[in-house]
Each structure stands twice: as structure tokens, then as C-alpha cells.
Amino acid sequence: MNWKFAAIPTLVILLAGGIYLYFVFEHRSKPGINPHPDTNEQLTSDELAVVRQKLPAHFEDASDIDNTTVWMKNGNTMPYYPYTGGTVRFNQRVGLIPPAQKLFIKKLIKQATPPSERNNIEHGTRQVFALFNLPDNPTLYATPIGVIQGQDEKYYSDLLFYYDDPHTIYDNWSKQTWADVDAHQVKPGMSELETRMSIGMNLHVTGATEGDRTVTYELPDGKKYVVTYAHNHATTITNE
């Protein structure tokens, strides 16, 4: 029986950027800024930052993140749950993982998900969950990162996680910018990437050109930020 994976709206924006970064930087392996770009184009420092990808195709590939540290790239979109007694406790959903949150991945597991549970990834016959700890918290949690349907597998870990500390990847950002991002605040002058790193990817866009458009960000507490950008700098910020 033919089966297609459903699109994931909250991940589409990062998908295009991820594909671009893969082809430009597939030969590089270390985070940071490349001082000698192999191009004559005038790229920004953020575009030159190396964001590693693993391109997992199978469960064994995806399990390469077992016992590693990652940081949430697609903040405020992915739910997480306690994992106790060898099962994901879907009825005890904790909330959404914040942007740039540090996660200590223990291992990946496969588990069927209740049809009523919406977690931004297609259910298939089973979903793949990353089991993790938060800093200074021994509780084991689970968040979905992939889906299995028969012989077909799909993994979104490259879209969901940074494999290197984003403070290192974007070390061109000022200390003040990182202080605002770490505090999950939006300030005038921020780029779209800096804002996404601060308050997440649960957003709605008005306008096609990144850096010259208006974006509405929805936060887990029900608040909204409406940010207008010009030349990739936040010029108007409204907190609703």
C-alpha cells in the first residue's frame, strides 16, 4: 500500500535552510565561522556559520545521537512527556521544548502514539522518540523526532536539533544579543534568526522575503509577538 508522510508545517521553514546549508557546507565538520568561504557571493556571517547535519535514513543512523548533547533548534513546537516504566506517558504532557534548550540525549526508542495525540510529526505505525534529561533534572523525558510506517522511515533530527552549542556556531553575535536570546526576549535590531533562537518557531509569516516582512510568533503561554523586519533587523515589536 502506498503511503506518504504528511508535511510538517512547523518544520517547513527550516527545511529549505537545512538543504542549502548541507550542499554549501557538507565538506566541513567543525562549528564556527569559516574565514575562507568558497564563494564569491557576499554571504553574511550567519550564512557562513557551519550547522552540522547527520542526514539519518534509518533508526541505526538516527541513534548516532545516543549519549550526546544537543540544543533545540525548532523551539516552542515540539512537545515532551515523562518516560517512566518503559513507556512514554502521553497523558502527562509537560509542555513544549524552549528554543536553544540544552538536552542530554540518552537513547532513541520506538513507540506507537495514540491517534488523538498531536505532536507535529506523522504517527505512522510507530514514532521514534529521543529520551533525554534537562540540565540539573534527573527526570527522563521523551520527544518525537521521527516516524516509521512499514519499511519507510523518516527522521527530523537535523531540523530539530543543533549538534553543537549555538553560542559557538553563532559566535559572531554580540554578548548582549546572546543575553537577550538566553532570556527569551525580543529586542529592536534582532535578525529573524536571532528572534527564532529567542522565542521559537511557532510562527506565521506575512511576506515572502526573509528579513523584510512581518512575522507573528506564538508562545506557549498564549502571548504573541508581532515583529516587522527591514533589512533583517527588527524595527517594530508588538507584544500581544
Same domain, 152 and 61: yes
Given this model, what pLDDT does residue 41 score? 66
Q: Which residues of the chain have pLDDT under 70?
A: 1-41
Q: Which residue, of 162, 191, 207, is where some domain finishes?
A: 162
Question: What letter would DSSP give residue 230?
Answer: E
Q: Is residue 227 part of a domain?
A: yes
Given this model, what pLDDT does residue 240 score? 85
Show the domain range for 76: 9-162
Tell me: the pLDDT tens digits for 70-98? 999 999 999 999 999 999 999 999 999 99
> How far is the C-alpha of 51 from the C-alpha of 49, rounded, in Å?
6
How many structural domains does the chain have?
2
Quick one: CA dihedral 17, 27, 104, 194, positive or negative?
negative
Cβ atoms of 43 and 37 closer than 8 Å: yes
Same domain, 69 and 120: yes
Per-position DSSP letters for 69-92, written without gaps between them? EEEESSTTS-EEEEEETTEE-GGG
Q: Which residue, of 97, 132, 162, is where some domain finishes?
A: 162
Backbone dihedral angles phi then psi of residue 21, each to the nearest 5 degrees:
-65, -35
Tell me: the pLDDT tens digits for 161-189? 999 999 999 999 999 999 999 999 999 99
Q: What is the separation of C-alpha 74 from the centre of its chain, rounded to a whole number of angstroms?
A: 2
Same domain, 74 and 130: yes
Same domain, 17 and 132: yes
